[in-house]
Structure 1
Amino acid sequence: MKEKHLQTGYLHWLLLFALLIGVQILHAQEDIYIDPNRGAKEFRKELIMNSNKVESIVGNWGIFGKVNHPYSGVWPKGTGHGHVHEMTILVGAEVTGIDGQTYHIISDSYGDFPDRAPDGTEYFWNPKPGYANDHRIYINPNTGEIDSTSLIATSTDKTTWPETWPGKDATWNGRWNGYFGKDQFMADQECIYVMDDFTNSEFPYYPFIADSTRRGLGLQCETRMFQWVHPLAEDQIFIHFQVTNVSDYVYDRNIYFGAFADTHPGGLGASDDDSGFDKKMDMVFAWDHDNIGVWTKYRDILPGYLAWKYLESPGFGDDGIDNDDDGLIDERRDNDAGEWIFGPVGDYGEPKWHWSGDEDGDWDPQVDDVGSDGIGPKDPNYDAPDLDGTEGNGKPDQGEPNFGKTDNDESDQIGLTSFYSPHYGSVYISNDEAIWNYIQPGVFETPAQNSNNLWIFASGPFLLERNQTERFSVCWLFGEDEREIYRNAVTSQRIYDNDYRFTKPPLQPTVKVVPGDGKITLYWDNIAERSRDPVYGYDFEGYRIYRGTNPQMTESQKISDAFGNIVYRKPIAQFDLKDGIKGLHPIAMGEELGEEYSSGIHYYLGDDTGLKYYYEDTDVQNGVTYYYAVVSYDKGYYPGMDDRNLVPMSPSESPFKFTYEYGELKEKSVNAVIATPNAPATNYKPGYTDADEYGNISKVNNSSATGSIKVKIVDPDILPDQNQFQVSFSHILNELGEITTKTYTIKNLTTNEVIFDSVEIPIDPATNAPVSSWNTPIFSGMILSFENKFPDFDIIKAVSGWSGDYKTNLIPEIIKSSQGTIPMNVAIEITDTLASHPFKKDYQVYFKVYDFYTNDSIPFFFSYDKNGDYKIGEGDQISLIAPTGTGKLVKAYKITFNAPTDPNVEVIDPQPGDVFYLKSDSPFKEGDLYQFTTFQSGLLEVGKEVLDKVAVVPNPYVVAASWEQESVLSGRGERKIYFIHLPAECTIRIFTQNGVLVKTIQHSGVASDGSATWDLTTDEGLEVSFGIYIYHIEAPGIGEKVGTFGIIN
């Protein structure tokens, strides 16, 4: 549906975005595949959608939320605030049974008080086989455990995909079956399943003439869900249904598509639900009457609103009425290209030449003629043209962007036609006749307010021919208040109307964590910098680091919009490109929809700090567990970009997640880590390198480079032992003779592995030249920091001159002969014999000119020899010569040897042994080599006295110490104490005062962590009582220690 009261002002907005986007990101399925397989309960699978702030269990039999599940419509993610008991789609139709009677059949999957056959079979939708991996094996990177749970196929987990996809050829094998095309990942999370209603055998209706075992209404339904993490869409799950009539009968405008739900906006058990609807917005919504939830955790987070909004519904393409008020009559999404005509395109612009099947005229052959698989040469994972010849054929085909199935404007939609909200228990989904009555057009009643109520709503009736497919899309959305739920509804409609074209954040960096003593170090890779946004292209900008002491990182949720809604997090650190794009982003969040929807809050892009790949957090307390996320973010729209008339969008940042089930960590994203700082083992020796005390690594040849390279150890425990690394460079020599460092290469000489091969130096946008300082990504537990130096003529004049015990009093004057400043480090040494030839001369002079780093001769002109004696004297001039990138030579510097300024001072000419030095900073260049060696972590030999440092914290233990992690969902959290300053290997035994052994702990963790925890339970798993306890520590080869601690109430 379009919001008819908002549409007019934004049609131009949508048209520009759709026509001029420049990349193709859309693809619905090719011709609808009618799957001959039969759905069955044994193929049921679940999935938790949680790639933005909405977190919910969904089932591939048409349910959203699930009875008594901890993740049933949770918002915001991580709070445990479930808003839905359960919801199911429903399709209802009026049919004639074989007994001649009229029946109203409702196909649904509601799990509370379900409708069952006498043999217990549920009259449910059931999933068809083949759309997920039934033999999934997933190794949890957090725990190492093997997870064989079969899940709904989701774009974020390749282990959920089947080997082959039903209805797809072999080129799709091992590829993602995306709505947007083969292997196209344009949403942050997408899932897919296909189901049918063949087990609904309640009434004597047989939709298949030749098969009495397939019952229901004879429907097949493909379901897809999408989540985006962008702040504009972070409170929504988009759901797209494709319902196909595979039966032998026509449903002639006697069929409805809707849903049945038990919502609880204040939490399960609340009995003060309110519900409402907005026919113009095609939306139903609910809120808690007093806005106070029943949850025991995060009670400061109010229940807010939840809603379901029709974005697309079945349309009438033949009634002669403009049902969706878009200026087009009877547009369709299942037609062919038609004819090339000149004519109107409704509210989508002025009359124009277009294909008649492309009713809104937005198919653009320059960018949309990509073929029926929906991807073209500019799209990620493109491999070859379509086998059916549709790519580049000059006309729109089904599956291409902005046409037919993928163009959401090409359907004359009817929208929300009924909504009924009765008291819970007054209507049951198993009563087909009652449900039928409530989904009739024009039924809009909310009799049960401030009570435990239900939702029953639908769109219809519509026509569904044999083998015809109708689509409808809804958005499940949340918001803090009524204003935000409406704003989110407008956002979701805009995203849908634009064919789900939406910006996507950069890829998540993979983050590692190193806990230390009073510090935690994070480091990450640079994969995010290669991300390509479907709207703006390569638009990576920087990294932000968030920290908290709970998985929700509530401490970082500090930045609110003009209406008091928390929108952004406050980072503890931020690193961005040195590209001149900094400060507040010009577009306020929400302003994309129009100024009246502006939230008044702008994303902060950074300060042009330059990128870093590690962060050392010293504002931490030993023993406290911290949660971190390193997110990558993009530029969004910014002034001066090659915008191609794209709609301005605010930046987006990559998501992160910590998924807990019943208090146990089940999953975390690659950019999220958990760490507890503690002192290292008392006999721990961290890895190190042979760099100097400041971290500088050494040159291994007579390099003239004056910059520095420092090694920073980030993760000492993964440094390879006695491995030698070498750094080399390449450079460019320009037409002026100036040297510019182009690339660096790092090689492990011990293993012969090239770590970084010819990596280009980052460019400074202010100068369009390589930057002078940069860092490598992390490798082998360390990073290198480069500080490059370039010649400065003022510095050259200041530091050059006679050196050592010289005798002359002539004053050298240096003049730059070239337009460029050429790096040269030259010695002019006076000799008592003929020593060198000036450039292209056959005579010799009494001095030599050479590079004082390499001792290589430097070509020169003896430009002026006042006395003609081939010696340097008063007034004589020498010109130094340097090569250029064009192959020619240039005069770099002219040196004139002037007499003292005091005319009364006797002139003393240079004597043999006097040396004049011209010194300049020189950048890294080809031939410069640096090397260093790494040494692994190990253990020191220590005496018994190190056990004196062992301590128990907290001591005494009182109920809940400040560093204890709260339970993720409920309760007081873990109970634990720490033994700190332990040796790397030891045994801890805990006794009561009476000498009864309570617990034995074997400490043999990494040497960098000298702590062990005890959860206050015995070896038998029983909780210990309050009192005084004795501990005994035995460290092989070191000694023993005995101490006490207390546990008090």
Structure 2
Amino acid sequence: MKKLTSFAALLSGLLFLTGLWGQGRPYEGPDDPAGDIAAEREGYMTGNRVFLYFRNTTELSDWPREDVSRWPNTYEGTKMLDGVALLVGAKVYIKGDGDATTVDTIPTTDLLDIYTDPNTHTLYYLQTSYREEMDRDPTGTVEWGFYPVFGYFNENGEYPAMSNKPDSWPVGGWPAAGFTKKWPGEWDGRFGRGVRYADLETYFVVNDAQDQEYLGPEDFVRYYPRPGRYIGDLKPDVTIQRGKPWGGLGIRVETRGFQWNNPQARDAIFWEYTIANVSDYDIRDAAFGYWVDNAIGGDGANDELGFFDTQIDLAYSWDVNGLGAAGLTPGTMGFAYLESPGLPYDGIDNDEDGITDEKRDNVAQTLVGPTDGYSDLQQFLDVYKLTEEDLHEHWDADEDQDWEDGEDINGDGIYQISEYAGDDVGLDGVAPGDINYTGPDEGEGNHKPDFVEGVGSEPNFAWTDVSESDMVGLTSFRLFAVPSHSSDQHWFRGDESMWELIGIDSLEDYSGSITNLIEVFASGPFPLYQGQTERISMSELHSYDQLPGLNSEDHTAPALFELKRIVQVIYEKDYRFAQPPRMPTLTATEGDGEVILTWDDIADTKTRDPFVGNVNDFEGYKVYRSTDKKMSDPEIITDLYGTPTYKLPIYQCDLKDDIFGFTDFGLVNGVGYNLGTETGITHHFIDRSVQNGRTYYYAVVAYDYGAPDIGPGIAPSENNVVIELDENENVIGYGKNVAIVVPHPPAAGYIPPEIVPEDNPDLIGSGTYTAEILARGSLKPNHRYRLTFGLDTVATLSNYAHGLSYTNDSFTVFDEMDSSVVYHEDRDRYVGENIVYDDTLDYYALNRNGVATDVFDGIRLELDLPVETPIFDYAHSGWVVGSGDIHVTPTVRESNLLPWRYAIIFSSDPAAYTGQITNRSNVRDENDHRLSYTELLPGASVDFYVQNQSFVDSSGNYELMDIMVHDVNRNGVYDRFIDRVLVGPLTTNGRWGGTAFIIDFTNIDTLNYPRPGDQYQVDFKRPFWVTDTLRFTVHATDSVDESSLNDEMDRIKVVPNPYIATNAMEPALANASLNQRRRLIFTHIPAQCTIKIFTVSGVLVDEIQVDNPPDNGLVHWDLLTRENLEIAAGMYLYHVKSWRTGKEKLGKFAVIK
């Protein structure tokens, strides 16, 4: 920094700078009450492999707790952080009157006062929230720092607002401008109403109103940031310091944490702080920063080294010997400094992007030319990677030209789904086509970027655009050993000493010894005007890098540097990155030696990823299984460094879309992502490789196909798997795509539910079906279902309604309780190979090799369809009544267009039927040869008639088929044993419709001619017809057969027997206490019974009251006595008594420790 040695020069500079003030204005965002300790909540960031505890006070992690930070979040992970604090520092200047007996309270930003008036006072502030060394009130019970504000979370809940926990959101909506509310029931996203670009996000607000430093009765220099405002004036039930003046600096901080589970970003977590001056005054000198207390490897982390790379603004630390707590290998931890406050009024291009004094709170007023507004055009093009041809007319406040207007093609001022809305989507950030779109909102469709503080901003503009700020950059970095607690030097209660760390330019390399390190990053000093909002953001990064490189002179960390590159991409794209498909909901049903998994179709039907143009980029599903709560079992696919990187699924299915195999883009340390093998999509899986009594953790994840054309390529993203544990590794929550299951045998005497099909003798179709119960827990007892089919016509006969060849190209299942559709497949959406396409005849058909549905209401259907299109059925054609000699020949083409069930009924009347058709044109034989005029004998009479028994006419009678005699000997007379009878329909215009089949009695014994009353059936195998309806009912009584119960109790046994030290059914643990829960199981027990366990001498050890669901015949015992003591090794007896029948069973087992 330059010093002005001339007082005249100093005075001149002060007069110029003084002119810059007056930029302040009243804050226009939410009017929050004072923060309160009663609003404090704890949360966990679990959106990827970085596990981090936080409080909604801005404090991250904790010490000495162990369950607060872990990377990776597996049993191989270690603690990495003891704490992170947000630092907001400032110097406030108070005009003095020179009288030490009076109280001075008038703030000043006049540089003449500050630098020339000896009576001006300087007050130092450091606002934060941390576990130790905070400023406190005289009683020592109230910390003077940041406290969370009510209104930004569900006050009746236990968590801060989390994007994946709707019950953590404020019930009445989110605070907006002033005292208004917005968007009840939807997430208040950084980008708008319900908009979530990260896999997991948290959001909370704090202020510093409770800081009463310099406001005590003993203080003669006081700063009242909001005169006339008091703690409790907006929320009288505040629990601390009610009635005291609003203190501190008048700072409000919105905090957002982001995590992405994309393989390229899943080892990073982002924190963004939006800091506003809500006071009545400008703050002349402010600085924002972070305090990071490393804990690389966990407790005893006193062997850390660190380095700061000034080229990429990345500080990183590592364990020198690579040995963490419990002998685990800790990774490298980095902190990337991303966003810093802006200096929008100094006339300097501070961030060197070719734009001077850009702002994120200015309003778009004027359209300007492509090259207007740039102090250095070439520098702007270089920084934003543009060419001059990329520039266009733009709004003055959209300095970086990335806001995109929409295309209102029909000019009605409203974007239709078919029209491109661009960024012109209004203040709520929701566009037509989004799931939660309810119609145009303020600013939508006005072809102008919009922003209203406290309400919202359109994408790529103002608050949502990180580039629209003239950032000052990182000005201070210190890396030092944890300070001594014997003084307040470089601790938060030492406000002035902390200003020395964050308010003075100083980028220092660490040259100290190996120890437990503190990192401090900061930007400042800069002015924070009244009502002004500035940001600071950072990212915590983790990697496994080789120790020799880290400990070398260059401190190389290639994996961490690559992650920093991805982190920078996410930040520069305004915290927008590839999202996984929407998360499916998993349902698991335990069986005997099996687990049935089913999930919904929201991922493959409702996904829209704005990062790749708002398209549905869903590609497939994977199922993971583990026997440990951290899902470590499947994580066996390593990168080229040997680090576990991907999980190996036990099941995978993907779309048939020519996207398959391993990716060659977005590689994670050299390893691609498996996109599948073109199996087709299903929504269920049966795992039959499980052991009864063992606990299994399942997760289904949906994944997309990545973004190969964005930069060097973005790897496919999949849903995160979250199982929340407490410090004792008890499960306290898990994601909706996770299920925890213990397979078990059925209870003694259990009668399972069944599906009862209904007979339908009037079916036209030839197929059959089987209904199978897969997920008992999803069954709807006593519900009746109907199955119907859709048709695709292959070919038709003219002028005859039933002259067609067809296929089934769809089917639908209805729940007849409310006639709702519960399942449907068609050519646009089907499972696996259920529907096939014939490219020769251009038709779709249900697969005759078998159709198996997904699971609906706990049921799966299997359809057996013998044909795709109709064919003659020789097996089911023949005599129904009587017998005799007859020849029936189908035609090669026209039979398939008339594929019905026919009855040839013989009569004693020689003229039982007389042919109706006189026109002899276009009559064909069995080989599709056209018969000549002289070969046909119209109007002949025969002693039989033919019914089409598949259809009835308007009178309810079967349709009669017409006949035409093939006069073989051309004598003009019907000769029964020489001529042939062609059977076909009469068309609506009185012509021959086509030949269904031909009857003849040639070369037969006249004695074997059919007799009156004989009936011969001619039939075809057909797909189902539109009128075919198959019905079935679910009978699920969950009843018990008492006789079977008594018999099956003889099968009761203890597993394992003997019990030796441990067994696979006991849950896996990896905590420091190694307090594994012991267990053995009783199998095949009644669902309701009492089990008593005795020593061989008859002493009662424990008693178990079993009240299982009716189907569960398994119970665990923890090997503890009634006094909760561990049992001794030895032989034990058990006694089981059924509550229902009183049946008893005795047995024994051994325990060997």
Query: Fold conserved (TM > 0.5)?
Result: yes
Tell me which of 1029, 1039, 1055 is aligned to 1:938. Answer: 1039
Q: Report what 1:19 is aligned to.
A: none
Which of the residues 167, 188, 212 maps onto 1:177?
188
Task: Give the distance between the partners of 1:863 and 1:529, measured in 2 at CA.
Answer: 59
Q: Which of residues 151, 159, 170 in structure 1 aligns to 2:160?
A: 151
Question: Contact 2:789/2:1024 (CA < 8 Å) preserved in 1?
Answer: no
Letter aligned with residue 575 of structure 2: Y
- Pick the aligned partner of 1:965 from 1047, 1062, 1067: 1067
CA shift, 1:262, in A, is 0.9
Is 1:238 aligned to residue 270 of structure 2? Answer: yes
Aligned position for 1:85? 82
What are the Cα deviations for residues 130-186 of structure 1, in whole angstroms up to 9, with x where unaligned?
1112123xxxxxxxxxxxx35345453334323232226455233322212112233
Return the letter of the residue paired with 2:148. Answer: P
Identical-pair percentage? 30
Q: Is the 8 A contact 1:965 1:973 kept in 2?
A: yes
Contact 1:324 1:413 in 2 (8 A): yes
CA-CA distance at 1:983 after TM superposition: 2.2
Preserved CA contact (<8 Å) 2:160 2:202:
no
SS of 1:360 mapped into structure 2? coil
User: Where in structure 2 are the equivalents of 1:430-469 lying within 5 Å?
Assistant: 430-439=493-502, 440-469=504-533
Shift of 1:654: 1.9
1:400 aligns with 2:458: yes
Task: Please give the alpha-carbon distance, in whole angstroms, between the structure 1 residues aligned to 2:506 and 2:190.
Answer: 33
> Does residue 166 in structure 1 map to residue 175 in structure 2?
yes
CA distance in 2, matches of 1:74, 1:602: 25
Query: How far apart, in 1, do the equivalents of 2:809 and 2:450 lie?
Result: 47
Would the aligned equivalents of 1:60 and 1:193 in 2 still touch at CA under 8 Å? yes
Among 786, 789, 810, which residue is 2:863 paired with?
A: 786
**How do 1:498-897 and structure 2 match up within 5 A?**
498-535=573-610, 536-577=614-655, 579-584=656-661, 586-590=663-667, 599-637=669-707, 649-661=714-726, 662-690=728-756, 697=757, 699-716=759-776, 719=779, 723-731=783-791, 733=793, 736=796, 737-741=804-808, 743-749=810-816, 751=817, 754=820, 756=822, 760=826, 762=829, 769=844, 771-772=846-847, 774-788=851-865, 790-792=867-869, 796=872, 812=889, 814-817=891-894, 822=897, 824-827=899-902, 829=904, 831=906, 833-835=910-912, 843=939, 845-846=941-942, 847-851=944-948, 853=950, 856-857=958-959, 862=964, 864-866=966-968, 867=970, 868-869=972-973, 878=982, 880=984, 895=997
Q: 1:778 is aligned with what amino acid?
A: V
Shift of 1:89: 0.4
1:654-679 Cα offsets, whole Å, 9 max, x none, are 22221111222100112211222232
Residues 225-260 of structure 1: per-residue CA shift (max 9 Å, x gap): 2222222222222222111112233234x3211111
Gaps of 5+ in 2: 1-25, 97-119, 215-220, 229-243, 372-379, 407-421, 452-456, 485-489, 546-556, 797-803, 919-937, 953-957
Q: Which amino acid letter does the alignment assign opposite residue 540 of structure 1?
A: F
Q: Give, as a single letter, the amino acid of the residue that structure 2 aligns with 1:118.
A: P
Tell me what 1:38 maps to. Answer: 34
CA deviations 1:474-512 (Å, max 9, x no partner) are: 222222233222222211221221122333222333222
- 1:14 counterpart residue number: none
* Residues 1:459 and 1:811: Cα distance change in structure 2 (over 3 Å): same
Alignment partner, residue 49 of structure 1: 45
Query: Which residue does 2:396 correspond to in 1?
Result: 356
Look up the SS of the partner of 1:679 in the other structure: coil
Determine which of 114, 138, 143 is the counterpart of 2:134.
114
Indicate if the aligned counterparts of 1:717 and 1:936 stay in contact, CA closer than 8 A: no
CA distance in 1, matches of 2:1057, 2:571: 58
Whole-angstrom CA distance in 1 between matches of 2:336 and 2:886: 90
Q: Distance in 2 between the 1:155 and 1:431 partners?
A: 39
Secondary structure of residue in 2 paired with 1:368: coil
SS in 1 for 2:559: helix
Q: Could you say if the C-alpha distance between residues 477 and 646 of structure 1 is closer, same or farther in structure 2, counting changes exceeding 3 Å?
A: closer
Give the number of aligned pairs: 973
- Shift of residue 557, structure 1, vs aligned partner: 0.8
Matched, 1:1044 2:1152: no
Aligned equivalents of 2:1104 and 2:251: distance in 1? 60
Q: What letter is aligned with 1:673?
A: A
Q: Say what the alpha-carbon RMSD is for the aligned residues.
A: 3.7
Corresponding residue for residue 1081 of structure 2: 978
2:379 counterpart of 1:275? no
Structure 1's 340 and 153: CA in aligned 2 closer, same or farther, altered over 3 A?
A: same
The corresponding residue for 2:288 is: 257
Cα deviation 1:758-780 (Å, max 9, x = unaligned)? 66563558668365365445344
Shift in CA distance, 153/620, structure 1 to aligned 2, threshold 3 Å: closer
Deviation at 1:422, TM superposition (A): 0.9
The alignment status of 1:215 with 2:222, answered yes or no, reads no
Between the aligned partners of 2:263 and 2:540, the Cα distance in structure 1 is 15
Q: Return 124-133 or 403-412, whichever deviates more.
A: 403-412
Q: In structure 1, what is the equivalent of residue 801 of structure 2?
A: none
Match for residue 191 of structure 1? 202
Residues 556-581 of structure 1, C-alpha deviation per residue, up to 9 Å, x if partnerless?
A: 1122233433332111112334x334
1:294 CA drift (Å): 0.5
| Residue of structure 1 equivalent to 2:218 | none
**Could you tell me whether the CA contact under 8 Å between 1:631 and 1:653 is conserved in 2?**
yes
- What amino acid maps onto 1:1043 in structure 2? G
Distance 1:215 1:356 in 2: 38
What residue is the counterpart of 2:115 in the other structure? Answer: none
Larger mean CA deviation between 715-724 and 558-567 belongs to 715-724
> Is the aligned partner of 1:1005 residue 2:1108?
yes
1:956 aligns with 2:1058: yes
Q: Which amino acid in 1 is paired with 2:733?
A: E
Structure-2 change in CA distance of 1:880 and 1:48 (3 Å):
farther
Q: Which moved more, 1:526-535 or 1:666-675?
A: 526-535
Q: 1:812 to 1:334 in 2, by over 3 A?
A: same
Q: Could you tell me how far apart the structure 2 residues matched to 1:489 and 1:956 are?
A: 54
Distance 1:412 1:587 in 2: 38
Secondary structure of the residue that 1:352 maps to in structure 2?
coil
Q: How far did residue 63 of structure 1 move?
A: 0.8
Question: Alpha carbons of 1:892 and 1:741: their partners in 2 closer, same or farther (altered >3 Å)?
Answer: farther
Q: Does 1:200 align with 2:211?
A: yes
Kept in 2, the 8 Å contact 1:547–1:555? The answer is: yes
1:722–1:412 distance in 2 versus 1, CA, 3 Å: closer
* 5+ long unaligned stretches in structure 1: 1-29, 137-148, 591-597, 691-696
In structure 2, the partner of 1:920 is 1021
Q: Is the 8 A contact 1:95 1:104 kept in 2?
A: yes
Give the conservation status (yes or no) of the 8 Å contact 2:458–2:464: yes
Contact 1:1026 1:1046 in 2 (8 A): yes
Tell me if structure 1 keeps the 8 A contact 2:949–2:959.
no
| 2:698 counterpart letter in structure 1 | Y
Match of 1:72 among 63, 68, 79: 68
Q: 2:903 & 2:761 partners in 1: Cα distance?
A: 22
**Secondary structure, aligned partner of 2:892:** strand
Q: Any idea what SS the aligned residue of 1:270 has?
A: coil
- Kindly state the Cα deviation for residue 720 of structure 1 after the two structures are TM-superposed: 5.4
CA distance in 2, matches of 1:127, 1:98: 32
Q: Deviations over 1:321-379 (max 9, x none)?
A: 54445444433222222422222363334232222221221211111111122223232
SS at match of 1:421: strand
1:789–1:923: 8 Å Cα contact kept in structure 2?
no
Greater RCO (CA < 8 Å, at least 6 residues apart): 1
> Which position in structure 1 is the counterpart of 2:551?
none
1:470 Cα shift? 0.7
CA contact (8 A) 2:559 2:669 kept: no
User: Which structure has the larger Rg?
Assistant: 2
